[in-house]
Amino acid sequence: MKIAFVGRIIDGTGKAPFDGIILIDGEKIEKVGLAEEVTIPPKTKIVKVNSGTILPGLIDCHVHLMGERTLDFMKSAFEPLELKSVRAAMDCSKLLNAGYTSVRDVGGLGIYLKRAIEEGEIKGPRIMSAFKILSQTGGHGDIHSLPLDIAKRTGFSRLCDGADDCRKAAREQFREGADFIKICTTGGVLSERDLPTSAQFTLDEIRAIVEEAQRVGSFVAAHAEGTEGIKNAIKAGVKTIEHGDFIDDEGIDMMLKNDNILIPTFSIGERIISEGEKYKVPEWGIRKMRQLWEVQSKNFKKAKEAGVKIATGTDFGGGPLTPLGENSQELEILVREGLTSMEAIIAATKTASEALNMKDKIGTLETGKFADLIIVDGDPLSDISILRKAENIKVVVKGGKVEKHLKSSKIAFS
């Protein structure tokens, strides 16, 4: 059965909002346009949105579907994987309920959750997953406080050293069903014995991983905070730079030349600074985050003004500190950091779809793309914060299927 959504539309392309019709046939969008441009066939189910706004489904490019409930990694390391799996399944439902129809799992259980969602066993967004994070020994993905043999068996990282081992590690992830590869080319905030400014992996190691991804038509996302590690990642051919805190003018120019996408992940930083102590984040993690917060803001603004592509990502993994379902906090912060509300929406839709390597399938409300859309109560261009509350997301459609319809919304399916 065909469905026609009639109302105010923000299509994700950057075009001004318009009153129009989205005609859906099966899982795809058949036509989008003004009322006089779209003919609604007989027996079509019509959804009239008399108030509110229709947008593309939202996308978070940097989540961890790990079922985490703490950023105390020593505690988390010894929690049963079975328990984490159940939690992660619940997190998927929360994401969809909040209007997120697609996410990129940059280290976690996404390859399994994806199958369960596709089988109809659980509800959740469309998932692209990296499975295990690739990190050098002693790098950002290593659990430094554990003995090395235990660290190698724990968590969601694959430690690898030397080009050959890195190549093998990449092949292992694809063998398990990964859609892309996530690597760490610098230290980080939540790794105890390294610094965000420290470069990790050699150029040869990174290139070996990128080559393996390209061989199968995929790409690499790089956790990269320090200046040298950012540039090494770009030189080696990665697609997206995650965090990018210490990017300099040369790095910005390199990103523009290579068409890289920056995913700043402000949300986790704000959460750690404001509530990290309450939720047992290690003191060294809170200290490091405070040290780089203003630097990241300043360099982000420079990258944005230069024209670097920006996509949304939260680095949320679940639990009270980084709750999946409140991912639109990132859009609020991006607006505070200088984006317009429309630019923030584009970052969470059109540009985010590029970061997933799916720009021809999702991200905008255009003919031929998957029918992923949400109906939000109010105007996010006037108040971007309305997207943050799941109760404001009245309808969620993924692949033409209505996944959420709040009866209280007064949006009638006739």
Residue whose structure tokens are 């523009």: 256
DSSP 8-state class, residue 384: G
Amino acid at 345: I
* β-pair partners for 55: 374
Query: What count of Cα atoms within 13 Å lies in the side-chain half-sphere of residue 207?
Result: 6
Tokens matching residue 83: 């328990």
Say how far apart CA 276 and CA 291 lie, in whole Å.
14
Q: What is the DSSP string of 213-254?
A: HHHTT--EEEEE-SHHHHHHHHHHT-SEEEE-TT--HHHHHH
Point out the catalytic residue in the list 315, 350, 369, 377.
315
Q: Do residues 232 and 209 lie in contact, with contact meaning Cβ atoms separated by under 8 Å? A: no
Q: Do residues 334 and 312 lie in contact, with contact meaning Cβ atoms separated by under 8 Å? A: yes
359 is catalytic: no
Q: Ramachandran region of residue 265, left (φ > 0), alpha (ψ -120 to 50) or beta?
A: left
* β-pair partners for 244: none
* β-pair partners for 33: 21
142 is catalytic: no
Point out the catalytic residue in the list 94, 123, 182, 350.
182
> 220: burial class by Cβ within 10 Å (0-12, 13-18, 19+)?
buried
393: phi then psi, degrees, rounded to nearest 5: -90, 100
43: phi then psi, degrees, rounded to nearest 5: 65, 15
* β-pair partners for 310: 262
Which residues are identified as catalytic? 182, 315
